[in-house]
Structure 1
Amino acid sequence: MLQVKTLTKRFGERTAVDKISFDVAGPCMIGIIGASGAGKSTFLRMMNRLTDATSGAITYRGADVTSLRGSARRQWQSQCAMIFQQFNLVPRMDVVSNVLHGTLNRRSTLSTMFNLYPTEDIHRAIAILDRLGIADHAPKRAEALSGGQQQRVAIARALMQDPAIILADEPIASLDPMNAQIVMDALRRIHDEDGRTVIANLHTLDTARRYCDRVIGMRQGRIVFDGTPAQLTTGVARDIYGADASFSEAATSTQIETLEQSLIREAEAFV
């Protein structure tokens, strides 16, 4: 279904993504992990065609995505929706209008200028918000919502595009553990129920193990691990992050239970 072949991105003398290759045979949920600067975000931006590859190719169902231009590139971007760490919503616009922005690629310039939406699109936007548990917030300004709620609005906007692939760039990096769990549950449910491929850049190992079918580890622009969550041992993680024996997964955990236990241990230490 999806093939990435020797994909490379250089910024001057620096190579951000260095000849990475992998295949995706069918819909799945993939987590990409690695230290800051490993090339994870640059890869997703090339996938979505927000930036051009220096060399190599991305092929989806036989079509070379990296060569698309103009309307063909915009059509691909509607099929390969992007979710960002900072939500990228219009803060002073109401929630349902933010979700409806997911239809911009298929609307006329006139309807976009006057903010005109078909009734069926409005109903669909509200139905998607309801599916994500935030339909009650539809008339509110986006800026009035919590971070976790705003990220679910961003997911709803992506679903309005009816994409085959959803790319999520650190979707829970700025969220507390409870909201992180809600957002990841939503992404997993979208994969399971809709059969959409989800590729998410993640910063914690427990999240990758819990939610993903496959984990890809990147280091200095290259893929250094590609396997199942069960194969992602602490030793493998040390190699991915270039860490020594002092590397601790607990320090990066987003599991609510782990954080609660840590707080209990700290409290007991003062008793």
Structure 2
Amino acid sequence: MLRIDKLTKRFGRNVAVDAATLDVDKPCMIGIIGRSGAGKSTLLRMINRLTDATDGRIMVEGRDVTQLRGRDKRAWQADCAMIFQQFNLVPRIDVVSNVLHGTLNRRSTLATMFNLYPMADIHRAIDILDRLGIAEHAPKRAEALSGGQQQRVAIARALMQDPRIILADEPIASLDPMNAQTVMEALRRIHEEDGRTVICNLHTLDTARRYCDRVVGMRDGRIVFDGLPEQLTTGVAREIYGADASFSEAATSTEIDALDATTPLREAKALV
């Protein structure tokens, strides 16, 4: 389905991603973890073609995505939707219009200029919002919603593209634990119910273990771990993060019960 073959990105003398290789042979939910600057975001941006690779290939069903240009490149970006940490919504327009922006790649310039949408697309956008539990907010301005609600609008916009792959770059980094859980559960349902591949950059190990079928660890631009969630032990995490024995993943937990003031951090569900 998707093969990343020795994908490399250099910025001058700095190597952001170093010969990353990854095979995805069936729809799954993958969590990519690693410290800030490990190359996680750059890897997703190369997959989506927001950033061009310096070397290597991205192969999808025998087609080299890194070589696509023009209309073919835009078609790939529609088939491989991107969700960002900061939502990237238009704050002063209504929620349903933000969702409908997911159809821009297949609309004419004239229709885009006059904000004209087929009724079928409008109904579909509202159905997607309903699926994500926020249909009642459709007529509101995006800026009136909470962070968690805005991220679900961003997910709805991605679903309007009807992609095979959804890339989520730190989708819960700016959210509180309750909203983070809601967003991750939504992404998990989309994978399970729709059969879409979801690849998320994540900062917390408990989130990767709880929601992902597979976890990839990056360090200094290289993939240093690729395995099942249960294989992500504290020792493996120390290697990924380049940490010493003082490393405690409980301090990064997003589990709501682990963050209760009456619950010691060492009892956090994420610990192994």
TM-score (normalised: structure 1)? 0.97
Q: Which residue matches 2:84?
A: 84
Instruction: Note the 1:47-58 alignment, pairs <5 A.
Output: 47-58=47-58
Q: Deviations over 1:142-199 (max 9, x none)?
A: 0000000000000000000000000000000000000000000000000000000000
- Counting matched residue pairs gives 264
Instruction: Note the 1:158-169 alignment, pairs <5 A.
Output: 158-169=158-169
Q: Deviations over 1:51-84 (max 9, x none)?
A: 1000000001111000000000000000000000
Q: Which residue matches 1:6?
A: 6
CA distance in 1, matches of 2:32, 2:60: 19
* Matching residue within 250, 261, 264 for 2:262: 264
**Structure 1 unpaired stretches of 5+:** 267-271
Letter in 1 for 2:117: Y
Q: Which residue matches 1:40?
A: 40
Instruction: Note the 1:108-257 alignment, pairs <5 A.
Output: 108-257=108-257
Identity level (%): 80
Q: Which residue matches 1:26?
A: 26
Shift of 1:265: 5.2
Q: Which residue matches 1:269?
A: none
Letter in 2 for 1:77: Q
Q: Which residue matches 2:71?
A: 71
Write out the 4+ residue segments of structure 1 that deviate beyond 6 Å after TM superposition. Answer: none
CA distance in 1, matches of 2:150, 2:132: 11
Q: Deviations over 1:111-150 (max 9, x none)?
A: 0000000000000000000000000000000000000000
* SS of alignment partner, residue 254 of structure 1: coil
CA distance in 1, matches of 2:176, 2:262: 18
Q: Give the CA RMSD over aligned residues.
A: 0.7
Shift of 1:92: 0.2
CA distance in 2, matches of 1:25, 1:265: 41
Letter in 1 for 2:229: P
* SS of alignment partner, residue 210 of structure 1: helix
